[in-house]
């Protein structure tokens, strides 16, 4: 049995959705979209028209945003008087595009405008008093406009006011209880405003300012609006959806030389750009330069008219992104190794010297994805004895509240429910881990059920068609609050499972139903480690998003796997493989052995190891524990002993190695003739050095060495010989006994039977046998 990572929520079929069918059919749109649209609160003709047919006219009046009129008037005044205007942006993709949009709008008015993007490592995020002071002196600034920041910049904005500099704040982040002192605050969620859509990205707000300044919608800037909106992961509903849809059309025909150069570097085709290729191709490259250094080249690239400059800048940005990927990969590997060495934590606090501060949010997101638990990832500065980093969370945990519960440990911290940044003295790290674990425990937060995953419907493989997938693409652009639909496939199996990718990190396989010939190609990114899980299961439930795979002119449906679960018993056939003991958690795994030598070989601990020793094993307290899985380390002597244990523990997951050094079944039982040859040899030589001369004796008698050892053990067991310090000595006139009266002899007979069954039966035969045992 394998639990899903997410908690699946399958949408109920809403009868009201039938009302949408006539309109969909009148527009030649697939009627099967009706329940999906209805569940996404698109339930009127007006909402549907805006959703499917966005127009410039559907955009809201920018003057509905608080202080917009005041801000526009002040900017026009600055332009008219030739005042020096400085745009103070942010170092991410949203900040870069916001800065570019407003810069171009003011330039179109003839304004004298420059820009500054703060350095993540020296200036930090948002308004900075020391940076403002320096810029005011160096640039002679007379009007400062923030984009994608500023709403929480109390100290710096108060300083600007004191020295006589007007500051216009344009921002979209959470509004604090007390607003800063600024000339104007342009924010779509301002408590005194009246704007109908509050989820604009920073670039969306900048675009609204540009629209108000120019008194027309500057549609040639919509390409930047689409990039910034997608990269900032804001809600892709309402006006944001309209901006992105219109922006994607502009992108396909953009005249921005820098975007053409960047797409060439990223191997992207501008004419086929989608929200997905922007999110994975353009956004990360713009973000990368701010993560590792100065983000200003991003603005230069997006606004340049020089082809040579564009090529140089795009190459630089692409190289920085490659460097960023390498740094992230290295830190993720080190963080994963750190997690494996730790007991399971409620929240992971991972810190190490040398970890690059600029990428730790990406690493934290990866850890959350892999563990299903919040993660704080910090770089340690040994000189300052300070750890600084980023955190990401899951739906069950309000990260800001969790950090606040141990707030006294930090030098500073901030963020929201899902993401945060912080710094603290390194000697507080252990206390931080303990405090966060305690917070989760006191709150009664349960990680056994993962975050919710909304599923549109359950489908059979035969219901998946190219036309259906093409129809669902009409719901794009997909993103936050408008995800690509997820579908469930039940009672399927994975066939032809293959690990793919440079590091074997991904899986490729086919889903099949036992009752039909239907199949569906699947790709499971990041699930390379789940190879055994999927390859050995016949009772799968798989959730994913449908896409079209094009290869050599052929188009086929494909499922991008998001999650899966296995309901029934799982047998992992690892016979012939090397047991890697570190892959199994000792507190959740019962190790079953027959030969005690494996205790030392694998450093097994008594609290999780049971030795098959006949009837006494049934009295072990280990059989009463609730084990999640069991490992059969070596082949037992008596199959019924193993049956007894498995019947008692009833684990849902069983790993079968069944090592056997003796290979009793293959080597068989010595013949009476061979026993006779050995008996005559002992009678003739009376004393034999079996410690050092065993190979010679085996060669002389023409008997396999392992078989000879067994025969000597039988003679010793029957009292025919004695062995002392490696010297085997004949016993004069021993009691006559049958060979099969020896316990050693009997055990080999039983071991042959056990090996024949456990080592040479098919995996299906063993699984059926084990399932029968569970039912008894």
Residue 62: which of 180, 171, 206 has the closest Cα?
206
Task: Name, in order, each residue with C-beta under 8 angstroms of 623's C-beta and a sequence gap of 6 or more.
Answer: 610, 617, 645, 648, 649
Q: For the chain, how big is the Rg over CA atoms in Å?
A: 35
The answer, yes or no, to whether residue 87 has pLDDT greater than 70, is: yes
**Chain centroid, CA 65 distance in Å:** 38
- 115 forms beta bridges with 87
Yes or no: say if 256 and 312 are a contact pair by the CB < 8 Å rule: no
CA angle 368, 412, 395 (to 5 degrees): 25
The pLDDT tens digits for 132-188 are: 999 999 989 999 999 999 998 999 999 999 999 999 999 998 888 899 999 999 999
Give the Cβ contact number of residue 306 at 10 Å: 12
Computed from CA positions of residues 346, 352, 355, 357, in that sequence, does the dihedral angle turn out positive or negative? Answer: positive
Yes or no: say if 459 and 472 are a contact pair by the CB < 8 Å rule: no
Computed from CA positions of residues 151, 152, 156, 161, in that sequence, does the dihedral angle turn out positive or negative? Answer: positive
E-assigned strand segments in 668-761 = 687-689, 721-724, 727-730
The answer, yes or no, to whether residue 402 has pLDDT greater than 50, is: yes
- 557 forms beta bridges with 548
The answer, yes or no, to whether residue 464 has pLDDT greater than 90, is: yes
The answer, yes or no, to whether residue 741 has pLDDT greater than 70, is: yes
- pTM for the predicted model, two decimal places: 0.82
Residue 532: which of 481, 580, 484, 465 has the closest Cα?
580
Q: What is the mean pLDDT of the chain?
A: 93
The answer, yes or no, to whether residue 548 has pLDDT greater than 70, is: yes
The answer, yes or no, to whether residue 644 has pLDDT greater than 90, is: no
Identify the pLDDT of residue 585: 84
Mean local confidence (pLDDT), 419-440: 94
Mean local confidence (pLDDT), 104-116: 97
Task: Name, in order, each residue with C-beta under 8 angstroms of 689's C-beta and a sequence gap of 6 or more.
Answer: 726, 727, 728
Burial class (CB in 10 A: 0-12, 13-18, 19+), 483: middle
For residue 551, name the pLDDT band (cuts at 50, 70, 90).
confident
Identify the pLDDT of residue 538: 80
Burial 209-240 (b: 16+ CB within 10 A, else e): bbbbbbeebbeebbbbbbbbbbbbebbbbbbb
Tokens found for residue 10 = 């399958």
Cα 35 to Cα 25: distance, rounded to the nearest angstrom? 14
Tokens found for residue 711 = 């025969």
Identify the pLDDT of residue 614: 56
Cα 9 to Cα 618: distance, rounded to the nearest angstrom? 42
Cα 706 to Cα 188: distance, rounded to the nearest angstrom? 82
Residue 682: which of 658, 712, 724 has the closest Cα?
712
What Cα–Cα distance (Å) separates residue 510 from each residue in 205, 321, 492, 493, 565? Answer: 46, 34, 10, 8, 16
The pLDDT tens digits for 672-730 are: 999 999 999 999 998 999 999 999 999 999 999 999 999 999 999 999 999 999 999 99
Burial 497-522 (b: 16+ CB within 10 A, else e): bebeeeeeebbebbbbbeeeeebbeb
Task: Name, in order, each residue with C-beta under 8 angstroms of 5's C-beta and a sequence gap of 6 or more.
Answer: 372, 450, 563
For residue 776, name the pLDDT band (cuts at 50, 70, 90).
very low
Task: Name, in order, each residue with C-beta under 8 angstroms of 122's C-beta and a sequence gap of 6 or more.
Answer: none
What element of type H or E holds 185? strand 184-186
Length of the chain: 776
152-166, 257-271, 306-320, 654-668: lowest mean pLDDT where? 654-668
For residue 226, name the pLDDT band (cuts at 50, 70, 90).
very high
The answer, yes or no, to whether residue 521 has pLDDT greater than 90, is: yes
The fraction of the chain above a pLDDT of 90, given in percent, is: 80
Residue 584: which of 527, 655, 529 has the closest Cα?
655
Give the Cβ contact number of residue 764 at 10 Å: 11
What Cα–Cα distance (Å) separates residue 265 from each residue in 292, 319, 764? Answer: 19, 9, 50
Residue 253: which of 228, 283, 223 has the closest Cα?
223
The answer, yes or no, to whether residue 476 has pLDDT greater than 70, is: yes
Task: Name, in order, each residue with C-beta under 8 angstroms of 445's C-beta and a sequence gap of 6 or more.
Answer: 346, 396, 397
Q: Name which residue leads in pLDDT, 749 or 395.
A: 749
Mean local confidence (pLDDT), 736-741: 94
The pLDDT tens digits for 577-610 are: 999 998 898 889 999 999 999 999 999 999 999 9
Phi-psi region of 53 (alpha: psi -120 to 50; beta: other; left: phi over 0): beta
Cα 678 to Cα 698: distance, rounded to the nearest angstrom? 10
Enter the DSSP assignment of 617.
G
For residue 775, name the pLDDT band (cuts at 50, 70, 90).
very low
Mean local confidence (pLDDT), 442-461: 89
Residue 387: which of 430, 418, 347, 346 has the closest Cα?
430
Strands 519-524 and 487-500: unpaired
The pLDDT tens digits for 325-348 are: 999 999 999 999 999 888 889 999
| Domain annotation for the chain: domains and CATH numbers | 17-57 (no CATH), 58-320 (3.90.1640.30), 342-443 (3.10.310.30), 452-571 (2.40.50.460), 572-659+756-775 (3.40.50), 665-741 (1.10.10)
For residue 615, name the pLDDT band (cuts at 50, 70, 90).
low
Yes or no: say if 536 and 514 are a contact pair by the CB < 8 Å rule: no
What Cα–Cα distance (Å) separates residue 306 from each residue in 104, 289, 294, 703? Answer: 16, 20, 21, 85
Identify the pLDDT of residue 436: 96
Yes or no: say if 455 and 487 are a contact pair by the CB < 8 Å rule: yes
Residue 621: which of 595, 584, 649, 640 has the closest Cα?
649
Cα 355 to Cα 280: distance, rounded to the nearest angstrom? 23
Yes or no: say if 118 and 124 are a contact pair by the CB < 8 Å rule: yes
Identify the pLDDT of residue 419: 86
Mean local confidence (pLDDT), 519-529: 94
Tokens found for residue 65 = 């945003």
């Amino acid at each position: 049995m394998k639990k899903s990572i997410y908690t699946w929520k399958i949408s109920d079929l809403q009868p009201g959705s039938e009302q949408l069918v006539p309109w969909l059919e009148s527009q030649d749109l697939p009627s099967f979209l009706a329940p999906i649209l209805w569940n996404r609160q698109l339930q009127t003709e007006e909402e549907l028209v805006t959703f499917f047919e966005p127009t410039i006219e559907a955009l809201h009046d920018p003057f509905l945003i608080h202080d917009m009129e005041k801000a526009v008037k002040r900017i026009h005044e600055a332009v008219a008087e030739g005042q020096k205007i400085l745009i103070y942006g942010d170092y991410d993709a949203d900040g870069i595009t916001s800065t570019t949009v407003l810069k171009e709008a003011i330039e179109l008015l003839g304004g004298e405008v420059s820009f500054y993007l703060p350095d993540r490592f020296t200036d930090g995020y948002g308004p900075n008093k020391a940076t403002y002071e320096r810029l005011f002196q160096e640039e002679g600034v007379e009007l400062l406009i923030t984009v994608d920041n500023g709403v929480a910049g109390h100290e710096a904005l108060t300083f600007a006011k004191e020295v006589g500099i007007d500051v216009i704040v344009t921002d979209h982040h959470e509004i604090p209880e007390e607003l800063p002192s600024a000339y104007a605050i342009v924010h779509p969620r301002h408590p005194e405003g009246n704007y109908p859509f509050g989820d604009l990205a920073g670039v969306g707000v900048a675009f609204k300012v540009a629209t108000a300044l120019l008194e027309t919608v500057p549609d040639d800037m919509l390409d930047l609006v689409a990039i910034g909106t997608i990269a900032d992961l804001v809600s892709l509903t309402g006006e944001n959806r309209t901006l992105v849809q219109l922006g994607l059309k502009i992108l396909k025909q953009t005249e921005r030389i820098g975007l053409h150069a960047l797409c060439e570097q990223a191997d992207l085709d501008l004419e086929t750009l989608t929200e997905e290729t922007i999110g994975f191709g353009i956004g990360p490259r713009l973000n990368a330069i701010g993560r590792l250094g100065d983000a200003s080249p991003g603005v230069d690239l997006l606004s340049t008219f020089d082809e040579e400059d564009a090529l140089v800048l795009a190459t630089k940005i692409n190289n920085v992104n490659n460097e960023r990927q390498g740094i992230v990969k290295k830190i993720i590997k080190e963080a994963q190794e750190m997690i494996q060495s730790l007991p399971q934590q409620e929240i992971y606090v991972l810190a190490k010297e040398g970890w690059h501060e600029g990428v730790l949010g990406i690493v934290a997101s990866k850890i959350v994805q892999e563990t299903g638990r919040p993660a704080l990832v910090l770089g340690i500065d040994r000189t300052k004895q300070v750890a600084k980093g980023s955190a990401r969370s899951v739906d069950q945990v309000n990260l800001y509240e969790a950090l606040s519960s141990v707030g006294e440990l930090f030098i500073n911290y901030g963020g929201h429910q899902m993401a945060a940044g912080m710094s603290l003295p390194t000697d507080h790290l252990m206390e931080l881990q303990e405090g966060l674990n305690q917070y989760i425990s006191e709150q009664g937060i349960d990680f056994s059920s993962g975050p919710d995953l909304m599923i549109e419907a359950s489908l059979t493989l035969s219901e998946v068609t190219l036309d259906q997938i093409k129809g669902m693409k009409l719901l794009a652009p997909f993103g936050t609050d408008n995800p690509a639909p997820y579908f469930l496939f039940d009672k399927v199996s994975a066939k032809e499972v293959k690990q793919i990718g440079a590091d074997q990190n991904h899986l490729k396989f086919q889903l099949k139903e036992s009752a039909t010939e239907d199949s569906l190609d699947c790709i499971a990114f990041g699930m390379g480690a789940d190879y055994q899980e999927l390859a050995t299961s016949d009772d799968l439930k798989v959730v994913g998003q449908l896409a079209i795979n094009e290869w050599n002119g052929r188009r086929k449906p494909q499922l991008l796997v998001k999650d899966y679960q296995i309901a029934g018993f799982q047998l992992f056939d690892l016979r012939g493989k090397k047991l890697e003991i570190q892959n199994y958690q000792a507190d959740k795994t019962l190790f079953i052995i027959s030969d005690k030598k494996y205790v030392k070989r694998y450093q097994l601990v008594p609290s999780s190891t049971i030795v098959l020793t006949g009837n006494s094993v049934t009295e072990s307290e280990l059989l009463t524990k609730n084990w999640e899985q069991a490992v059969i380390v070596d082949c037992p002597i008596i199959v019924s002993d193993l049956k007894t244990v498995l019947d008692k523990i009833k684990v849902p997951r069983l790993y079968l190695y069944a090592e056997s050094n003796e290979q009793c079944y293959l080597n068989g039982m010595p013949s009476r003739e061979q026993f006779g040859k050995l008996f005559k040899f002992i009678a003739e030589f009376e004393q034999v050095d079996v410690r050092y001369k065993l190979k010679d004796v085996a060669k002389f008698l023409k008997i396999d060495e392992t078989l000879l050892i067994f025969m000597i053990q039988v003679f010793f067991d029957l009292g025919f010989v004695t062995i002392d310090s490696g010297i085997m000595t004949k016993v004069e006139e021993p009691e006559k006994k049958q060979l099969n009266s020896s316990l050693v002899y009997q055990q080999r007979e039983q071991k042959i039977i056990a090996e024949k069954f456990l080592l040479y039966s098919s995996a299906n035969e063993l699984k059926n046998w084990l399932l029968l045992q569970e039912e008894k």
